[in-house]
């Protein structure tokens, strides 16, 4: 039997391999060995390579360095190293080399997020094309550093070359059904960065409330929010969210869903919504946006002019889902308009008329747009660069068939249908989200290339700041890996181990991520 | 003396008064609904600067009653504490003021006791200016009454604290109203348990069923057998020390909540084996022991001497009269595989393994009763036809045809606790609280006498997918539905009314620091995590 001296390195090997094998999401190429270097918490720094295009003063990276220092070492009381700890094989800096500057820009759908990470005897180097790639690499680096039971930090000799499979990796939050305090949104952005999500789809308003404080139309939030003093997002709040996201390489894709899902718009903009009739009298209730009035489009022009300026992303999400025709049908003015336009009884044509006009308005502001699948299903004339978000699981066709149809029409597609994380059930449902293969539909490579990514959606009917975090994490992590990692990374057993580890890492970073199954983490969540 | 329990028609009448247009009161979110509520339109102003809660001169309890002193403080804070920053302008002292709430305990107050299954929780509350009166036989009723009183006070649109003149007569429908937490599948920090006790008090729950240990971990630090948690806990920090347990018991007592510990055996005991050699049955593969273990080995004397010492300790550490002995889901495969067990079966003439299980459970039940404790067991122990001494409480948990099981258990004369429809760990999309709310615990075939044997129920939050990250929003306000079912009259079951009250109640819980999740779309004035 081997003596203790022989056992020691073996155990270490097991521990260290376990650590490098715990990355989430899994990188495209990784080589790692048992050879390890110590990382000294007090001496360690992130540094810019002399030939890096980004240098000190680059807000995105300067702040990321600080964040990741804190993530890595904040729990450590600084002390001087004992002589025994002064290894020759110590890594006391990660050198960052960014090829193209662009620290003050916003990330975009086209942003390059590639990076390579080289940790060997000669160097400890993070190389990336852009600052956005550097951010992804810093996250990976932070997941590579591990701590022995004695408290020493290590990093193994590792070589990683990494890039995302899909450029649009989104998470939808709904701030209309329930208002989410800004702090909840910012916290979510942090965890998104930990799992390499890069789009925050902000479903800002809906039937239930209008928390967006518009400066052009202040009455919208004044009358449409749950409480105009406390349950609104001010211009300052919105700026803060956008900048916080930018610093993490996350785009803010804002959604103002029309013509349905707009009840909360009504009180602030008289005449905007369609009055519903019962018999020959208005019933006092309202339906979707009234598509027959010029004033509607004047309002939309002015409103989206503001939105286009406030939200820097090239894309706006214009909604267009679930328009209920009952109210339109009941209204005599609408009926007259239908007749005049020759729409017959086809209210889809009326819906198309509205959407097309709206799309023209938004296009004129030099914005691209994303819409829910109904806009495509209803055969609205859309620009060829429109992005269609597929969200219906079965109706009227399976979501994979819908992906096929959308891309077959030459349009770009975003997949959400299997990732409605607000739907909960007993047990490890993350597995279902994980085993989705977004490109598993009939179609040639040119069709597959039109899938730009997907989004995990957390609709707000039953979700607010009390349960958002544990309901979202680590379940959304499953979607994050599906969208970032290679298609072949699909082994559930390995995913379970790594995601369990990632969840404990989230707890360590202060995120209230719920358990995947029975067990424990070294750091448990403690409420205040 | 007034009639204690008003019939449902009477209550309906009172509610109708509340709802009449001439007197449209706000939705206070009283939860659980008290037995009788009479309210007038007359409003009283409650000023945080002047109002206080005190003992009535007529009370059998006084300032030496620490339980009440701390409750007075707590409820003052619940009423005003979180809103002191924006209460309305101080108005001049007037007849319209409510200046104090006087609390009167009319019998031996039981200040220093632990609550028990027979604790009297009834109270009457008379709110009128300038002095309101809360009367109860025991301190336990005072605690329930203070909670109700705190729910009556609201802030008007100017922020002024206001209460309607009212009279409330209230007492629980069932004496055992429990929440089960599972600290074996995941360790729950003591803080999380204390938070849960807070929320339980807000919902008038009175039993924390502490499913302490199970297959996965043994976090209970035993004084007699320290190896059990040394080896059986997830980690050295995942342990409840004697001090932790005293703290939980004391905290619960101050809120009128009993701690009923469960040490489930002979199954669900994998974690016990790590720290106690030879306790579990070695499983065999053919003629060789396979290295795995099954349920507790019921054929060894050492097993029973161990259990005696362990339960002796448990019966001192936990003051409650009841201990939960488990007895559910015993797998027989391992017993079957073991030649020594087979031999024992033969020598005892046991025809099946249920008999062996009974043999074990009966010995354990006898042992615990000699320690002066009463036992609760899961329904299998009854189903297996174990000889149970009268008074053993059977907990019905299997959701399949549970009313039938209730009939059988009560027909055999055993008191029972209902849990089957209230497994809150089994989550679904949407408003599943409605299902919990609609359960009628006495809706099973049986005589009046059988119905009286239902001592209550428990909402169970098993821990496979629950730890301190998601326990609170998963438990509340879903468990509140069970809370009202067990406290309020049978006739209080209108879902629409429950929805509107529970919505307000959940916002109140958030203000008091409980991250209770939403029932549906909407908002609270103060949201969880909102900066003030």
pLDDT digits (tens, 9 = 90+) for B134-160: 999 999 999 999 999 999 999 998 889
Q: Indicate yes or no: CB of B468 within 8 angstroms of CB of A526.
A: yes
User: Number of CB pairs < 8 Å for A and B?
Assistant: 134
In whole angstroms, give the CA distance from residue B200 to residue B188.
Answer: 16
pLDDT at A135: 98
Question: pLDDT value at position A84?
Answer: 52
The SS3 assignment for A497 reads helix
CA–CA separation, B98 and B153 (whole Å): 11
Cis check: omega of the bond before A432, within 30 degrees of 0: no
Characterize the bridge pairing of strands B52-55 and A168-174.
unpaired
Contact B443, B405 (CB under 8 A): no
Task: Please give the structure tokens belonging to residue A55.
Answer: 């240098």
- A227·B523 Cβ contact <8 A: yes
Distance, in Å, from the CA atom of A482 to the CA atom of A491, rounded to the nearest integer, reads: 11
Min CA distance, B124 vs chain A (Å)?
Answer: 34
Is the CB of A425 less than 8 angstroms away from the CB of B427?
yes
Beta-carbon separation of B516 and A466 below 8 A: yes
Which strand (E) or helix (H) includes residue A91? Answer: strand A90-91
Nearest neighbour of A465 by CB, restricted to B187, B429, B529: B529
3-state secondary structure of B11: helix
Nearest to A466 among B192, B463, B510 (CB): B510
Mean pLDDT calculated for residue range A376-387 = 91
Nearest to A179 among B427, B430, B523 (CB): B523
CA nearest neighbour of B395 among B415, B368, B374:
B415
Question: Using 50, 70 and 90 to split pLDDT, how confident is the model at B321?
Answer: very high
pLDDT at B460 over 90: yes
- Whole-number percent of chain A with pLDDT over 90: 88
CATH for B176-512? 3.20.20.80
Q: What's the gap in Å between the CA of A469 and the closest CA on chain B?
A: 9
Which positions of A are annotated as active-site residues? Answer: 322
Backbone angles phi, psi at B77, to 5 degrees: -65, -40
Predicted pLDDT of residue B19: 44
Q: Which residue has the tokens 């540094």?
A: A47
Helices (H) and strands (E) in chain A, counts: 17, 18
Q: What is this structure's pTM?
A: 0.93
- 3-class secondary-structure state, position A485: coil
When pLDDT is averaged across residues A158-173 and rounded to a whole number, the result is 98
Q: Is the pLDDT of residue B34 over 50?
A: yes
Task: List chain A residues with CB under 8 Å of B518.
Answer: 178, 462-464, 466-467
Give the residue-averaged pLDDT of B330-352: 96
* pLDDT score of A30: 96
- pLDDT digits 0-9 by tens, B181-236: 999 999 999 999 999 999 999 999 999 999 999 999 999 999 999 999 999 999 99
Angstrom distances, CA of residue B437 to CA of A314, A471, B410, B481, B502 = 49, 24, 23, 5, 11
Contact A527 B430 (CB under 8 A): no
- pLDDT score, position B22: 46
**Averaged pLDDT, A262-287:** 96
Tell me, what's the pLDDT at A269? 98
pLDDT for res A6: 33
Measured CA to CA in angstroms, residue B250 lies from A456, B78, B112, B243 at distances of 45, 20, 11, 10
Using DSSP bridges, classify how beta strands A29-39 and B258-262 pair: parallel, antiparallel or unpaired.
Answer: unpaired
CA distance to A526, B13, B155, B503, B509, per residue, from B500 (Å): 32, 19, 18, 5, 15
Measured between CB atoms, which of A230, A425, A467 is closest to B428?
A425
Give the separation between CA A371 and CA A352, rounded to whole angstroms: 12
- Give A-chain residues touching B217 at CB under 8 angstroms: 520
Mean pLDDT (whole number) for B476-497? 98
Show the DSSP H helices in B203-352 as ranges.
227-232, 242-254, 270-275, 301-317, 333-337, 339-348
Say yes or no for a CB contact (<8 Å) between B470 and A470. Answer: yes
Q: CA of A457, closest CA in chain B: separation in Å? A: 14
- Which two three-digit tokens encode residue A324? 């209920």
**B interface test, pick of A186, A233, A464, A513 with most B CB neighbours within 10 Å:** A464
Residue A75: other Cβ atoms inside 10 A: 13
B329 is catalytic: yes
Judge: B186–A520 Cβ closer than 8 Å, yes or no. yes
Q: What is the DSSP string of B201-246?
A: HHTT--EEEEE---SS---B--SS-THHHHHHSSSTTS-B-HHHHH
Nearest CA of chain A to the CA of B471: how many Å? 9
Q: Nearest CA of chain B to the CA of A159: how many Å? A: 34
Which of A261, A473, A518 is the best substitution to test chain B (most B C-beta atoms within 10 A)? A518
Which residue in the list B227, B329, B440, B464 is annotated as catalytic? Answer: B329
Computed over every residue of chain B, the mean pLDDT equals 93
Nearest to A142 by CA among A16, A262, A39: A39
The CATH number given to B36-85+92-170 is: 3.30.379.10
Cβ atoms A38, A510 nearer than 8 A:
no
Min distance B65 CA to chain A CA atoms (Å): 29
Name the residue facing B238 among A231, A426, A520 (closest C-beta).
Answer: A520
Q: Do A469 and B469 touch (CB under 8 A)?
A: yes
Distance CA A506, CA A508 (A): 5
| Per-residue tokens: A166 | 């899909």
Residues carrying CATH 3.20.20.80, chain B:
176-512
Residues in chain A: 528
Nearest to B528 among A177, A466, A526 (CB): A466
- Nearest of A317, A302, A192, A187 to residue A240 by alpha carbon: A187
The ranges of chain B annotated as CATH 3.30.379.10 are 36-85+92-170
Nearest residue to A207 (alpha-carbon basis) of A281, A259, A142: A259
* Strand ranges for A92-135 from DSSP E: 93-98, 115-119, 124-128
Question: In terms of Cα–Cα distance, which of B175, B160, B259 is closest to B211?
Answer: B259
Angle between helices A59-73 and A131-144 (to 10 degrees): 10
Convert the pLDDT of each residue in B391-419 to its tens digit: 999 999 999 999 999 999 999 999 999 99
Per-residue pLDDT of A324-349, as tens digits, reads 999 999 999 999 999 999 999 999 99
Contacts of B235 in chain A (CB under 8 A): 520, 522
Identify the CA nearest to A295 among candidates A333, A349, A321: A333
Instruction: Quote the DSSP letter at residue A198.
Output: -
Q: Is the peptide bond before B227 cis (omega within 30 degrees of 0)?
A: no
């Amino acid at each position: 039997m081997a003596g203790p001296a022989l056992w020691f390195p073996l155990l270490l090997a097991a521990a260290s391999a376990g650590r490098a094998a715990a990355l989430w999401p899994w990188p495209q190429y990784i080589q790692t060995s048992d050879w390890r270097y110590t990382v000294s918490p007090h001496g360690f720094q992130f540094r810019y390579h002399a030939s890096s295009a980004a240098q000190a003063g680059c807000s995105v990276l300067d702040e990321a360095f600080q964040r990741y220092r804190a993530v890595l070492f904040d729990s450590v009381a600084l002390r001087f190293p004992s002589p025994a700890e002064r290894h020759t094989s110590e890594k006391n800096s990660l050198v960052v080399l960014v090829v193209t500057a662009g620290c003050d820009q916003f990330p975009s759908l086209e942003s390059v997020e590639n990076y390579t990470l080289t940790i060997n005897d000669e160097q400890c180097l993070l190389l990336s094309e852009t600052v956005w790639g550097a951010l992804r690499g810093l996250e990976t680096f932070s997941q590579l550093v591990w701590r022995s039971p004695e408290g020493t930090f290590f990093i193994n000799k590792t070589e990683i070359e990494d890039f995302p499979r899909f450029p649009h990796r989104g998470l939808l939050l709904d701030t209309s059904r329930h208002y989410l305090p800004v702090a909840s949104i910012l916290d979510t952005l942090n965890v998104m960065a930990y799992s390499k999500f890069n789009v925050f789809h902000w479903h800002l308003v809906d039937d239930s409330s209008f928390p967006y404080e518009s400066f052009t139309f202040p009455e919208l939030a004044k009358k449409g929010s749950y409480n105009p003093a406390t349950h609104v997002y001010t211009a300052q709040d919105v700026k803060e969210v956008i900048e916080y996201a930018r610093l993490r390489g996350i785009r803010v894709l804002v959604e103002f869903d029309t013509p349905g899902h707009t009840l909360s718009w009504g009180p602030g903009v008289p005449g905007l919504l369609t009055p519903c009739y019962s018999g020959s009298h208005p019933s006092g209730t309202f339906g979707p946006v009234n598509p027959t009035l010029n004033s509607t489009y004047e309002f939309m022009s002015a409103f989206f002019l503001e939105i286009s300026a406030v939200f820097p992303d090239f894309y706006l999400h214009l909604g267009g889902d679930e328009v209920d025709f009952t109210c339109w049908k009941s209204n005599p003015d609408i009926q007259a308009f239908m007749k005049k336009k020759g729409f017959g009884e086809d209210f889809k044509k009326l819906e198309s008329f509205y959407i097309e006009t709206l799309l023209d308005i938004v296009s004129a502001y030099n914005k691209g747009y994303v819409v829910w699948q109904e806009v495509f299903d209803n055969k609205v004339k859309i620009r060829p660069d429109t992005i269609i978000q597929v969200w219906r699981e079965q109706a009227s066709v399976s979501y994979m068939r819908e992906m096929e149809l959308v891309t077959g029409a030459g349009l770009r597609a975003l997949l959400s249908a299997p990732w409605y994380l607000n739907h909960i059930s007993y047990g490890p449902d993350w597995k279902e989200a994980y085993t989705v293969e977004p490109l598993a539909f009939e179609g040639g490579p040119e069709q597959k290339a039109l899938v730009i990514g997907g989004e995990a959606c957390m609709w707000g009917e039953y979700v607010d700041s009390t349960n958002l975090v544990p309901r979202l994490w680590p379940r959304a992590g499953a979607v994050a890996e599906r969208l970032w990692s290679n298609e072949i990374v699909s082994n559930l057993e390995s995913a379970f181990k790594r995601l369990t580890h990632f969840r404990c890492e989230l707890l360590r970073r202060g995120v209230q991520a719920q358990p995947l199954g029975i067990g424990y983490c070294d750091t448990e969540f403690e409420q205040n | 003396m007034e009639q204690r329990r008003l019939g449902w028609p009477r209550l309906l009448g009172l509610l109708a008064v509340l709802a009449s247009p001439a007197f449209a009161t706000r939705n206070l979110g009283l939860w659980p609904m008290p037995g009788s509520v009479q309210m007038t339109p007359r409003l009283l102003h409650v000023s945080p600067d002047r109002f206080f809660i005190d003992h009535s001169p007529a009370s059998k309890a006084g300032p030496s009653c620490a339980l009440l002193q701390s409750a007075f403080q707590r409820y003052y804070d619940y009423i005003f504490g979180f809103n002191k920053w924006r209460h309305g302008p101080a108005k001049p002292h007037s007849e319209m003021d409510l200046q104090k709430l006087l609390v009167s305990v009319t019998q031996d107050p039981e200040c220093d006791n632990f609550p028990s299954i027979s604790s009297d929780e009834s109270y009457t509350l008379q709110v009128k200016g300038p002095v309101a009166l809360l009367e109860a036989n025991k301190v336990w009723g005072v605690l329930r009454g203070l909670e109700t009183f705190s729910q009556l006070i609201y802030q008007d649109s100017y922020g002024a604290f206001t209460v309607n003149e009212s009279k409330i007569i209230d007492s629980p429908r069932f004496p055992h109203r429990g929440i089960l937490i599972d600290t074996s599948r995941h360790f729950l920090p003591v803080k999380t348990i204390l938070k849960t006790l807070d929320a339980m008090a807000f919902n008038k729950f009175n039993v924390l069923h502490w499913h302490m240990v199970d297959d996965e971990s043994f976090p209970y630090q035993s004084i007699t057998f320290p190896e059990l948690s040394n080896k059986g806990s997830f980690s050295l920090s995942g342990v409840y020390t004697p001090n932790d347990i005293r703290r939980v018991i004391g905290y619960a007592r101050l809120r009128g909540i009993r701690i009923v510990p469960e040490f489930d055996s002979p199954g669900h005991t994998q974690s016990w084996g790590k720290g106690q050699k030879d306790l579990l049955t070695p499983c065999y593969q053919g003629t060789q022991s396979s290295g795995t273990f099954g349920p507790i080995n019921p054929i060894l004397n050492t097993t029973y001497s161990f259990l005696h010492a362990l339960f002796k300790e448990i019966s001192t550490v936990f003051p409650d009269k009841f201990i939960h002995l488990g007895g559910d889901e015993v797998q027989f495969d391992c017993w079957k595989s073991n030649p020594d067990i087979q031999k024992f079966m033969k020598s005892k003439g046991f025809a099946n393994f249920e008999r062996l299980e009974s043999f074990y459970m009966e010995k354990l039940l006898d042992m615990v009763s000699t320690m002066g404790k009463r036992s609760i067991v899961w329904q299998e122990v009854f189903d297996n036809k174990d000889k149970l001494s009268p008074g053993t409480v059977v907990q019905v948990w299997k959701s399949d045809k549970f009313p039938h099981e209730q009939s059988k258990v009560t027909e055999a004369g055993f008191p029972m606790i209902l849990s089957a429809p209230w497994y809150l760990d089994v989550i679904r999309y949407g408003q599943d609280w409605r299902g919990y709310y609609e359960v009628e615990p006495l809706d099973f075939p049986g005589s009046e006498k059988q119905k009286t044997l239902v001592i209550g129920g428990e909402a169970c939050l098993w821990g496979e997918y629950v730890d301190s990250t998601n326990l609170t929003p998963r438990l509340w306000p879903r468990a509140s539905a069970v809370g009202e079912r067990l406290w309020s009259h049978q006739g209080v079951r209108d879902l629409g009314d429950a929805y509107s009250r529970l919505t307000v109640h959940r916002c109140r819980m958030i203000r008091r620091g409980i991250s209770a999740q939403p029932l549906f779309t909407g908002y609270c004035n103060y949201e969880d995590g909102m900066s003030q």
